[in-house]
Structure 1
Amino acid sequence: MIRLALFPLIAASLALASCATPETRLRNGLHNAGLSQAMSACMAERMVDRLSLVQLRRLSALGSLEGKRITDLSLGTFLHKVRALGDPEILTVSTSSAALCALR
């Protein structure tokens, strides 16, 4: 019964998510992976202009690598996850964005 009541909410969330910009999706993916909201926003702003849509989608799915939310993810752990994607360009852009955003 509860599952049926949640169906409209899930459907509405999916509909809204499909309208999101690549930057919004990436920012949310980085935040869901455990980065702070400020760090996620800063990095997504820089990375969206430097990576392809396919690369951005791969990055936005980082939260699924661990299977659960990590609070206050360290940059080292984040970069380890990015390295596991096997794309040197994603790693380069992520590393430089993380470094510049950490200095802000």
Structure 2
Amino acid sequence: MKPLFTVVAVAALLAGCASYESRIERSLTSAGLSRPVAGCMADQMVDRLSTAQLKRLAQFAKGVDRREVEQMNLREIQRRFQAIGDPQIVEVVTRAGLGCALMGA
């Protein structure tokens, strides 16, 4: 389960600026996800989140250090992610990660 939250943090890192979908997909692929899973997640995030929400996610990501996330326990990762303050962001990113990974998109 910990890798999922690392993936979520990585996805958050690229959620700001031009071409959200391709940036998110590239980031997830760089983090080790297959292209189909990364593309699936990026597509869902862009379709279900507003530009303002994607920017909020990018702001959150600026304070995320992937190495630090890898050292955190699941509860701490969840607490930090929920601190974004937008349940829809948390839901969309989490569902995209789980759904696309399970489908092997």
Bucket of the pairwise TM-score, normalised by the shorter protein: 0.5 to 0.7
Stretches of structure 2 that go unaligned for 5 or more consecutive residues are 1-15
Q: Are the aligned partners of 1:23 and 1:48 in contact in 2 as well (CA < 8 Å)?
A: yes
Match of 1:7 in 2: none
Whole-angstrom CA distance in 1 between matches of 2:32 and 2:79 = 17
CA offset at residue 96 of structure 1? 1.2
Q: Are the aligned partners of 2:69 and 2:77 in contact in 1 as well (CA < 8 Å)?
A: no
TM-score, with length taken from structure 2: 0.54
Match of 1:36 in 2: 32
Match of 1:26 in 2: 24
Are 1:99 and 2:98 counterparts? yes
Greater Rg over alpha carbons, structure: 1
| Deviation string, structure 1 residues 68-87 (Cα, Å, up to 9, x no partner) | 3339959x576554312010
Aligned residues: 82
The one-letter amino acid of 2:97's match is A
TM-score, with length taken from structure 1: 0.55
Structure number with greater CO (CA < 8 Å, separation at least 6) is 2
Instruction: Provide the aligned C-alpha RMSD in A.
Output: 3.5
